Structures are given as C-alpha cells and as structure tokens.
C-alpha cells in the first residue's frame, strides 16, 4: 500500500510519537507536576519549542486522540437509520464512544490517563474542557438531525455527556478496574436516556 505520506510527514509523525512516548514514560514514574515540558522534550530529544509545535498545551500530549472520539459520535448521529427515534440515536452515539474507549484499554495508556485525571486538577480540567468541546459538535449534529432548538439540544446532549463523565470519574476515583469503569459508562447512559431509574423513590 504505497499510501505515501512523504518522508517529511513521516518524520513529523515520528517526532510526535516520540513526544507522546516520552511523556507516557515520564508520567508513569513521576507525578504530573514533577514532569516539565522541558523534561519531555529532552527525553524525546527535541527542543521545548518543538513540543509546542505539536501540542498546544502540556495536557494535550495525553489527549492525543480525544477529538477522534467525538467524531465517531457525530457520525453515529449523521448515519442514523431514517426515522430512528432520538433516544435510539443518542444511545448509538454513546455506544460508539464507549466502544472506542474500550479499544484502547489494552494499551496501558488508558490506565495512566485515568490516574492522571484523578490526581491532577490541571489534567481533569483539560479533559472536562475537551469533552465539552466535543459535546458542542455532537449537539449541533443532534440539533440539525431532529430539528430542535439550540437549548433543548444542548440540554439533551449535556445530560447524556454529563452523566457519562460523572460516572466515569466517580468510577476512576473509586479505583475501579477498566471493565468496571466501562460498565459505569453504560449504566450512566441508560440512567440519562431513560429517567426511569429512581429505585429509591
């Protein structure tokens, strides 16, 4: 498959991967705040300036793929079956994201990220923010697909994403296994989509 991206592009990706790899390696040993961008750049044998050519902030080196996750959900909305009910479409979007999260469980990256989200406020804030950005794009897709007004669409998607985020972080903070965390995400989805839970009332 000579899908040749050119040598220049290949080298660029190599540098990027080296930075991610160096970051993962260093964060595995030390706490988030004890690793500086200069350290990461040094370990990847590039200049600090180069780091910021590849990642806008220090946190982003850990979130390399987050944007792709939202794209999956957007596609799930756009490719819905004709006439599919809203709740079904939302469920499908959530399922795509959760399944994709499942995919990178085997790489230790998921666990590392989980630890850092729990221990570092800066990372947690960044995750919340990128999640919210993703949410905005999903909201637009849902709004257009079902001809809703802005606020209703935002509330619907916000409820779904809010439930999943909260449940995920709760599970991580509790020290759950990755499988348990995935189960928590699925539970949250059904809680948000059918409000018919209320066991205690």
Contact footprint for a copy of itself (CB under 8 A): 84-87, 121, 124-126, 128-129, 132, 135, 139, 146-148, 150-152, 154-167, 169-171, 174, 184, 187-188, 191-195, 197-201
**Among residues 22, 26, 46, 98, which is the contact residue for DNA, using CB under 7 A?**
46
The yes or no reply on residue 9 touching DNA (CB under 7 A) is: yes
Q: Among residues 48, 75, 129, 174, which is the contact residue for DNA, using CB under 7 A?
A: 48
> Cα dist. 122→91, 132, 162, 172 in Å?
30, 15, 19, 16
Handedness of CA 159, 170, 187, 144 (dihedral sign): positive
For DNA, which stretch binds (CB under 7 A), given 31-39, 89-97, 127-135, 177-185?
Answer: 31-39
| 136, 143 contact by CB (below 8 A) | no
Q: How far apart are CA 196 and CA 135, in angstroms?
A: 24
**And the tokens for 96?**
């795509």
The DSSP secondary-structure symbol of 201 reads: -
Rg (the chain; Cα; Å): 19
Alpha carbons 25 and 28: distance in angstroms, whole number: 5
In the complex with a copy of itself, the residue whose CB is nearer, 93 or 160, is: 160
* CB-based burial label for 108 (10 Å; 0-12, 13-18, 19+): exposed
Record the tokens describing residue 56, joined without a space: 């806008």
Per CB under 7 A, the segment of 55-63, 101-109, 130-138, 147-155 that binds DNA is: 55-63
In the 3-class helix/strand/coil scheme, how is 123-162 assigned residue by residue?
HHHHHHHHHHHHHHHHHHHHHHHHCCCHHHHHHHHHHHHH
| Smallest gap from residue 107 Cβ to DNA (A) | 23
| Residue 25: CB minimum distance to DNA, A | 16
What is the closest distance, in whole angstroms, from the C-beta atom of residue 28 to DNA in the complex?
Answer: 16
Contacting DNA within 71-130 (CB under 7 A): none
Cβ distance to DNA smaller for residue 47 or 107:
47
Task: Pick the binder of DNA from 3, 49, 149, 201 (CB under 7 A).
Answer: 49
50 binds, among DNA, a copy of itself, none (CB under 5 to 8 A by kind): DNA
Q: Which residues bind DNA (CB under 7 A)?
A: 6-9, 11-12, 14-15, 35-38, 45-50, 52-54, 56-59
């Amino acid at each position: 498959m000579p899908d040749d991206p050119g040598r220049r592009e290949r080298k660029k990706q190599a540098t990027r991967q080296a930075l991610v790899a160096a970051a993962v390696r260093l964060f595995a040993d030390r706490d988030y705040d004890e690793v500086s961008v200069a350290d990461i750049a040094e370990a990847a044998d590039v200049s600090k300036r180069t780091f910021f050519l590849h990642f806008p902030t220090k946190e982003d080196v850990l979130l390399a793929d987050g944007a792709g996750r939202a794209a999956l959900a957007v596609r799930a909305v756009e490719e819905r079956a004709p006439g599919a009910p809203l709740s079904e479409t939302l469920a499908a979007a959530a399922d795509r994201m959760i399944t994709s999260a499942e995919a990178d469980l085997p790489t230790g990256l998921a666990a590392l990220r989980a630890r850092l989200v729990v221990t570092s406020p800066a990372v947690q804030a960044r995750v919340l923010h990128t999640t919210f950005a993703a949410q905005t794009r999903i909201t637009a897709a849902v709004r257009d697909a079902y001809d809703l007004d802005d606020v209703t669409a935002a509330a619907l998607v916000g409820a779904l994403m809010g439930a999943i985020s909260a449940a995920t972080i709760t599970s991580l903070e509790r020290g759950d296994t990755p499988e348990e965390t995935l189960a928590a995400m699925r539970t949250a989805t059904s809680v948000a989509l059918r409000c018919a839970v209320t066991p205690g009332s």
